[in-house]
Structure 1
Amino acid sequence: MAFTAKDVQALREMTGVGMMDCKKALTEADGNMDKAVEILREKGLAASQKKAGRIAAEGMAYAAVVDGVGVVVEVNAETDFVGKNEKFVDFVKGVAAVVAKEKPADLDDLMAKPYGNGRTVQEEQQEMVLVIGENIKVRRFAFFTEGVSVPYNHAGGKIGVLVNLEVSAGLEDKVTEVGKDMAMQIAALNPRFLDKSQVDQATLDEEKKILLVQMENDPKMASKPEKVREGIVTGKLGKFYKENCLLQQEFVKDSSVSVEQYMANAAKALGGTITLKNAVRFEKGEGIEKKQENFAEEIAKQLGK
């Protein structure tokens, strides 16, 4: 019985197993879907099906420069313990290497790329699920192919930051410290924007609205003319930039200068120019709703109480 690409995709969705293994199973089963599922289970490949639905909010964020390409990835696991597992860490670094080499367009593209051992990244992820016994999931990645990229990893994979700089000729090997200082600032303060020029009008309007409401609730401010209050609000937006925009923030290592001034001073000392082109900050589990376990209830269930 013949089968189509849609059948392969359907089997993949049912079992969570890689495309090639699904295709092999359908070929062996002569297109019979139920038999193909059985074959995958017998091979132990579909064992990860149940695990695929479990929440993976731990794991590792990892930044690196691989063959001149700056890469940052996040790979999730279910427990913090697995995030320190040597096999898991090797897998995360392997994923980063694939991103650097293949430069995938998106996550689906990355998962279909060769991992380097005869399996795709998707298939290697499935292998990790089987070996480690937890739901493992490549969540996101970013990379820079131009300029100078400086990676920084904080707290053993809790946060990964990648800073991308454009520098004048001859400074390529001299700006690592500058990049690391900026990456550490990003890791610590997590600015919403890199520069005040990136703040959109909708954000500014919302901030102005909040400040005006605060003034209306302050008896001293409420009595002032509207034009005066709006002038005060405009002035207070400078504080918003200093708190939320990296280049306008006080430099953590020297609060007498902003990050922008620190960069300019460093560039002058090195005899060239340094420009921040981009930066990415991944924090493991960020935005993933973690399941709150009641361990007393869980143990009681296991004991049949």
Structure 2
Amino acid sequence: MAITASQVNDLRKKTGAGMMDCKKALVEADGDMDQAIDFLRKKGQKVAAKRGDNEAKEGLIFAESKGDTGYIIQFNCETDFVAKNSDFQGFVKSIFETGIKAEVESVEELKTLKFNEKLSVEEKIIEQVGVIGEKLELSNFAKVTATSVIAYNHPGNQLATLVGLNKSGEEINDAGKQVAMQVAAMAPVALNKDGISQEVIDRELQVGKDQAIEEGKPADLADKIAQGRLNKFFKENTLLSQAFVRDNKLSVEKFLNSVESGLTVTEFKRFSLS
């Protein structure tokens, strides 16, 4: 049967596939819209299988917060060309909005959600692999809840952060925005030293001890030197102990207390492509 331009356009609106791909799918499906969509999905599965070993290092990261809740997503693709495409950006935002609406907290939960009447989020991503021709990967998704949550999106959408605070208010939100930018710039690995695993602590102590011995320090002092270096590691890599980037005479903890006594960060998330 003859395939009309209207049919092709309708399929394109539903799937985002190119005009020629839509026409071919409709021809294969003898004009049946549902079968044409299935054809494009199968094409996506074939492309996904072929590109499964490819690296998806580019992509987009978005964070959004309102009141006591925030969400952050990382979605990877293979090339910067695709990441900058407005249709791809719209697709990623639609996935993000699906997760926010359902209030999910993880990648696994998000993938199983219904994207539309026919497809789950995971199935929709596979379909888009066929449309775009690159490996696509929903890499990270997280939710933060606190008395107030602040989101920061770094220009370029390759880095974003969420910061949860134990208090709320206009001045506190301003402070939270500064701390969210601190998290983006300084990449802390934990909120405080209690958030550092024993495995990491043991490794840092061993490295510090080995370095001290290699530097010719007496063996009986090596343990003390290693402990000192561990304390420096805590100061540089845990958020509340880090020097505040806008005033390095203050730690982040002291900065927050200068805004309001008892103000602190309860949780943070940082997603980055690099």
Which residue is 2:199 aligned to?
202
Q: Which residue of 2 aligns with 1:27?
A: none
Gaps of 5+ in 1: 1-38, 287-305
1:15-64 CA-partner distances (Å, limit 9, x unpaired): xxxxxxxxxxxxxxxxxxxxxxxx67973221112331243221111111
The residue number in structure 2 matching 1:152 is: 152
**Where in structure 2 are the equivalents of 1:43-192 lying within 5 Å?**
43-52=39-48, 53=52, 54-65=54-65, 69-104=69-104, 106-115=106-115, 119-167=119-167, 171-192=168-189
Shift of 1:162: 1.0
Per-residue CA distance 1:166-201 (angstroms, 9 max, x = gap): 11xxx3343222222112121122122221122233
* Structure 2 residue corresponding to 1:265, chosen from 251, 258, 266: 258
Give TM-score scaled by structure 1 length: 0.69
1:46-103 deviations in Å (ceiling 9; x for gaps): 1112331243221111111268630001111111111111122122222222222213
1:74 alignment partner, SS class: strand
1:278 and 2:267 matched: yes
Change (3 A) 1:95 1:147: farther
Aligned residue pairs total 236
Stretches of structure 2 that go unaligned for 5 or more consecutive residues are: 1-34
Closer, same or farther: CA 181–42 of 1 in aligned 2, 3 Å: closer
CA-based RMSD: 2.5
> Which residue pairs with 1:10 in the alignment?
none
CA contact (8 A) 1:41 1:47 kept: no
Query: For the residues of structure 2 that align with 1:190 and 1:123, how far apart are their CA atoms?
Result: 33
Cα gap change, 1:43 to 1:214, in 2 (>3 Å): closer
SS in 2 for 1:55: coil
Tell me which amino acid in the other structure corresponds to 1:281: R
* Distance change (3 Å), C-alpha of 1:216 and 1:42: closer
* Contact kept in structure 2, 1:63 and 1:160, CA below 8 Å: yes
CA contact (8 A) 1:71 1:162 kept: yes
Shift of 1:259: 0.9
Contact map agreement 2:190 2:238 (CA 8 A) in 1 = yes
The structure-2 alpha-carbon separation of the partners of 1:232 and 1:109, relative to structure 1 and needing over 3 Å to count, comes to: closer
Q: 1:277 to 1:119 in 2, by over 3 A?
A: same
Identity %: 32
Give the match's secondary structure for 1:274. coil
CA distance in 1, matches of 2:142, 2:258: 29
Q: 1:204 to 1:275 in 2, by over 3 A?
A: same
Larger CA deviation: 75-84 vs 132-141: 132-141
Pick closer, same or farther for the CA change 1:205–1:109 going to 2, 3 Å.
closer
Contact 1:75 / 1:92 at 8 angstroms: preserved in 2? yes
